[in-house]
Chains A and B, each alone.
Chain A
Amino acid sequence: MIETQTTLLTWMTFTPLIGVAAIGLLLMARPLLGLSQRAVDHGARLLALLTTLPSLALSYVMWRDFDGAAGGVQFVHHTPWIRAFNIEYFMGVDGLSVTMVMLTALISSVAVIASMPWGIARDDSHHFSRRQVPGYMALLLLLETGMFGVFCALDFFLFYVLWELVLLPMYFLIGIWGGPRREYAAIKFFLYTLAGSVLMLLGMIALYYASEPTTLVDGTAAAHTFNMLKLAEQANRFELMAPILGLPFTKVVWVGMFIAFAIKVPMFPFHTWLPDAHVEAPTPISVLLAGVLLKMGPYGMLRVNYPILPEATLWAQWGVAIFGAINIVYAAFVCMAQKDLKKLIAYSSVSHMGFVLLGMAAFTPQGISGAVYQMWNHGIISPALFLIAGVIYDRAHHREIEGFGGLSKNLPEYTAITGLAFMASLGLPGLNGFISEALVLVGAFPVFKVITIVSASGVIITAAYYLLTMQRVFLGKLNEKYAALRDLNWRERLTLYPLVALMVVLGFYPMPILDLMNPTLHSLVLPFAQRTGLVTGP
């Protein structure tokens, strides 16, 4: 079926792994070469940069060459891997994943740059960017590989392995380099997501055995398959399977998978790991967590639940929408009451990810495109917000919203960037957040009237908590304690400006992203739309 193969995605995914190996070699070579600790640290940082940036470049090539109008899976790398279970190494991107891969490349680069100690006071040796640098960088790169892989994998088993691969580095990155309660946060994150993913494992095995005979890429016969595209083709077959635990097969599998993904989203009531993880994680890790890891949840739903288990997806439509609305409104209310800036941003992530759920559930073109665009936008905005929280934390060593005041007097640039990011996050028209939220709501309204109206009321709450924060931190009389704080340094500019620029550009001109994904997403939801009576004809 697919003739041409390319290793582009493979290179992109595993280049960071080369960095891991290189850092390992560097550590081993250290006694031989008599390198100082400083030299090793710098070497590790350099290697991290040198292996992250090529991935970014490759993702650019991918974006450039991706044919959005054609849709379908592109840049395929497909070869048998483990024949015992008919597992294949199957990488490829379609309109859904291409945006996520680009996001991963971008945010990873930002995170690596944000992990540099430039501009951190020399005496601050406890800063995460100065502690055990080689280990940190190696884990960061490992995480990067996992994230790329999750979005590129089209074999369910491969997907699962890479999905789990993401857990470990995250655990250590939070647990070793995090804040005071890092161990609690790390294990909570780990347990939560593992609990979800084991459910996915069972569901995956069940789907595997339910699949019908097919062939591997090299033509050998296979009794069952993990190939996600083929599983989607066989979607009707799963309806006929014997019940699991006395319940309909597809619904049980769907719910298991959904919970696995919902934990990552994170969906109410599975979200309580997120605030802790974010508060304790060092800034670049929060950036990755919010920017990329959360996207794995809805991505998984759209990659697995939607095409492979369509009947159950239809069945659960209202549930997903209701949980989406709860996410939006409930988390926004929780935001209002937060005292820690990072926790506030974390909860705002929960709230904004609710739009993704709502948009997905509508099965309208606007809803689904809005949902995925919201994933992308949230992937731009919330990293910026976490970087912003990091800036203030690096300077003042706390993040209590009430503890500041009047900072805009001596940090005008920082204030402006923060204001812009806040505005983008609260959905100010003209910035990117608005487009996706509006698309989601517009797309959802014909289907869920009351739910959409309730969700839309989130815009008021969101405005309230952001402005309140703005006012408490930046406006009013300058708190003399912080009169000596300095404005952004070059490292922070290097990470924040690209994100902020994207917020503006993609608010006024979102089509480059929307065009990439529209055909894929619309063909994904069209069957649902037809089934719900939303659309007749093309």
Chain B
Amino acid sequence: MESRVLPTNLLAFIPLFPLVGAAINGLFGAHLQRAFGKKAIGLVGVALPWAAFVFAVLAVAQLWREPEGTTLVHRVYGWIGVGFLSVEVAFALDRLSAMMVLVVTFVGSLIHVYSLGYMAEDKAFWRFFSYLNLFLFAMLVLVLADNVLLMFVGWEGVGLCSYLLIGFWYEDLANARAGAKAFVVNRIGDFGFLVGFFILFWGLGGAFTETGYHIGSGYSLAFRDLPALVATAGDKTLWGLDLFTWVGILFFVGATGKSAQIPLYVWLPDAMAGPTPVSALIHAATMVTAGVFLVARMNFLYAHSPLAMTIVAMVGAATALFAATIGVFQYDIKKVLAYSTVSQLGYMFVGVGVGAFWAGAYHLLTHAFFKAALFLGAGSVILAMHHEQDMRKMGGLGKVMPVTRWTYWLACVAISGFPIASGFFSKDEILWQAFNTNALLVPGWLPWLLGFAAAGLTSFYMWRSYFMTFTGPLAKIEGHGHGRGHGHQDAAPREQPAVITGVLVVLAAGAVLASLIGLPMLWTGHAPWLEHFLAPTFAAAEGLPKTFTGHEAHRLEWLLMLASTAVATIGLGLAWWLYRGRDNPVPAQLAARFPGTHRVVFNKYFVDEAYQRSFVWGFMSTSRLSAWFDQHILDALVNLVAALTRLFAALDGLIDAYVVDGMVNTVGNGVRASGRGLRQLQTGRIPQYLAVVVAGAVMLVVLARFIVDVYT
């Protein structure tokens, strides 16, 4: 498949629109809001993302018309040019980014609309839309970036926006802390990304040989040039591992930060401190999938490195199961969804990790819809409950909030993997591909088994949240709220306005309809449409070995599909039995029966606490130790030199009654005391002076004698 590059002038506008929105609302928002009200803010904040969506559609349409393998490239200007490193601000649209850009702009714009309703009561309306637009800008830069460095701009940019939005209600210090935690944990991942980038740059830059360091010709950091360049540098090794493996693993470290995988997932549950649209957009639909996108982007690296693939797949699978187990025990509806997101991201990594890049991307897409729907549905519930998030205090809301209920129901169907909705197709494809892969260092059934178990748990905890929220007796609203200006006077929960429910409907529809582009070959007889669409981008995946082929493979795939449906049904059934109507005493009994297990899992395996006691403690101790060292050793050394100087002065017998201020911080008193004893030389008494003269002369004679002996 030949690749070709088509220049265009369209792409830069896609990120530009939200940037303009962010700038307008950020710089003048406060004034605008005062002068024209929130409508003006909302208009700017919502219209520009939609404009970005329109341009995205136009650009994708243009790409559509071109033969496959085409990349649209928009070169804006030369960004950094130093030596043979030359980086442009340039945007590129290939089929992977086409999918991403549509998802991001569409879901993003929808959530902007939703936010009009959700944030309507907030005083800092302008700030919220400014941040949200800025996020969209950064995300689009990430998705559209033509090269690794520009992608990193988007990569960190979304991290920044995430920080800002998590801590949006900064007056509660816990929110601010959650934001900072997210940023710092992300930075740990970014450190991996950066080191990966160094190795990539070094690897591409040339090689040390006997004759020197040879710079590769045709040097470029653009994604479309990388596969060919990397192939030539493939034999390079560093500390025993080859280039692909290093870069692959290190970029995945970056991905674990951004996409909340073990061990860096800890920030995501805390990130739920942000407003719910933020959780939906950033911490479910778009930003957190950036890691998956990165791995998919760099598929040509992973396809060459079984070790890197294995790590990605196994970490993904482990995270999927691990987070699912935590999700089972959460009572905060957003926390349930947060762990669910972590878990679903794990699936995506399994997908890209086993070489089924398109499946990972597909799950990314379906997840964007159903998880956004779930979060926004939860947001709707939270609004109705006046910012109550504890599911134990909810119940029976299905009667009063039909739209929310049924969209949530649809999304639950999708996520738990029933064959009518999109989640089934994407997840099942991943599980099947995992089972069938032979490209890892571990047998394919291992990640499959973990993912399979997680699927059952997913079904259980999602339906648990559904039943706890929407069935049973109608909840009473306790009169507290968080005092954020949501001064509803009526006490009963009720359905939210159309600006919110409309978005829910669209997303739920998307969650179902997205299945159309991923119907498996088993059902339709030809490869899924999306697989075909993305194939040019994932050319590297084609040659990866499979365990089963042909008829045997088909039979197994059917079998696994049935198994998946069965396990989802079991999960649903359990949740139905335990939580429907909210009157079954068994959950409480179980918790009482196994207090230890319950405690450990309910407290998320104490991972946060363990991190706090190990890494954070070590970090802060190092910091304190360094500061102490600086102040008490290094600075004191300087003072010691000064003190020694003074000591010599004292030996000369000339110490003053008081210590000259300044340099003496540490040894002053000691020197002073010893100095008094020694200050007897310049006493003012002449005989003594004369004695010094004589003694000095004698010393000089001895010295001279010594010198003469040595030198003559």
Direct A–B touching in the complex (beta carbon < 8 Å)?
Answer: yes
* Chain B residue with Cβ nearest A522: B83
Q: Which of B504-553 contact A (CB under 8 A)?
A: none
Contact A337 B184 (CB under 8 A): no
Task: Decide: B198 and A452 in contact? CB cutoff 8 A.
Answer: yes
Q: Name the CB-closest residue of B to A462.
A: B187
A518 at the interface (CB under 8 A from B): yes
Whether A471 and B176, one on each chain, are in contact in the complex, defined by CB atoms closer than 8 angstroms, is yes
**When the two chains form their complex, are residues A460 and B184 in contact, meaning their CB atoms are under 8 A apart?**
yes
Whether the pair A475, B153 counts as a contact (CB closer than 8 A) is no
CB of A219 closer than 8 Å to a CB of B: no
Known interface pairs A442-B197, A459-B187, A511-B81; A475-B170 also in contact (CB < 8 Å) = yes
Produce 1/0 per residue, A479-497, CB < 8 A to B: 0000000000000000000
**Chain A's nearest CB lies how many Å from the CB of B149?**
7
**In the complex the two chains form, is A509's CB within 8 Å of B77's CB?**
yes
Q: A366-B83, A428-B156, A429-B152 are in contact. Are A475 and B176 (CB under 8 A)?
A: yes
User: Does any Cβ of B come within 8 Å of A406's Cβ?
Assistant: yes
Asked if B84 is at the interface of the complex by the 8 Å CB criterion, the answer is yes
B624 on the interface (CB 8 Å rule)?
yes
| Residues on A with beta carbons closer than 8 Å to the beta carbon of B622 | 333
Q: How far is the CA of A460 from the CA of B630 in the complex (A)?
A: 21
Contact of A429 among B157, B163, B620, B634 (CB under 8 A): B157
A441 to B197, CA, bound (A): 10
Among B188, B197, B638, which residue has its beta carbon within 8 angstroms of that of A460?
B188
B183 at the binding interface (Cβ < 8 Å): yes
Tell me the complex Cα distance, A30–B2, Å: 83
Given A336-B623, A459-B191, A470-B180; A509-B198 close (CB under 8 Å): no
A460 touches B662 (CB 8 A): no
Contact: A460 with B187, CB < 8 Å?
Answer: yes
A437 to B, closest residue via Cβ: B194
In residues 186-229 of chain B, which contact A (Cβ within 8 Å)? 187-188, 190-191, 194-195, 197-199, 201-202, 205, 208, 211-215
In the bound complex, CA of A254 to CA of B205 (Å): 32
Interface centre among A366, A370, A478, by most B CB within 10 Å?
A366
Residue of B with least CB distance to A536? B212
| Contact B160 A423, beta carbon cutoff 8 Å | yes
Complex interface: chain B residues within 8 A of A429 (CB): 149, 152-153, 155-157
Q: Is there an interface contact between B634 and A535, defined as CB atoms closer than 8 Å?
A: no
A110 to B155, CA, bound (A): 33
Query: Would you call A90 an interface residue if the criterion is a C-beta within 8 Å of the partner chain's C-beta atoms?
Result: no
With A365-B82, A408-B170 as known contacts, state yes or no: A536 contacts B197, CB within 8 Å. no
- Is A131 an interface residue when CB atoms closer than 8 A count as contact? no
Interface size of B in residues (CB-CB distance below 8 Å): 66
Residues on the B chain within 8 Å of A406, using CB: 170-171
CB contact under 8 A between A535 and B215, given known A428-B160, A460-B184: yes
Residues of B contacting A441 in the complex (Cβ-Cβ under 8 angstroms): 194, 198
Classify the interface of chain B: helix, strand, loop or mixed. Answer: helix
Closest A residue to B177 by CB, please name it.
Answer: A471
CB distance from A502 to the nearest CB of B (A): 16
B187 to chain A: which residues have CB within 8 Å?
459-460, 463-464
Q: B627 near A333 (CB under 8 angstroms)?
A: yes
Q: Check B80–A511 contact: CB distance below 8 A.
A: yes
User: Counting CB contacts under 8 A, is B635 at the interface?
Assistant: yes
A445 on the B face (CB < 8 A) = yes
**27 contacting pairs across A/B (C-beta < 8 A):** A333-B626, A333-B627, A365-B82, A365-B83, A370-B82, A406-B171, A429-B157, A430-B153, A434-B153, A435-B80, A438-B194, A439-B85, A452-B198, A456-B195, A456-B198, A459-B190, A459-B194, A461-B623, A463-B183, A471-B180, A475-B170, A475-B176, A476-B176, A518-B81, A518-B83, A529-B213, A530-B212
Chain B residues at the A interface, C-beta cutoff of 8 Å: 30, 77-85, 89, 149, 152-153, 155-157, 160, 163, 167, 170-173, 176-177, 179-180, 183-184, 187-188, 190-191, 194-195, 197-199, 201-202, 205, 208, 211-215, 238, 619-620, 622-628, 630, 634-635, 637-638, 661-663
State the A residues within 8 Å of B (CB).
Answer: 183-184, 187-188, 192, 269, 271-273, 330, 333-338, 364-366, 369-370, 406, 408-409, 412, 423, 428-430, 434-435, 438-439, 441-443, 445-446, 449, 452-453, 456-457, 459-461, 463-464, 467-468, 470-471, 474-478, 508-511, 514-515, 518, 522, 529-530, 533-536
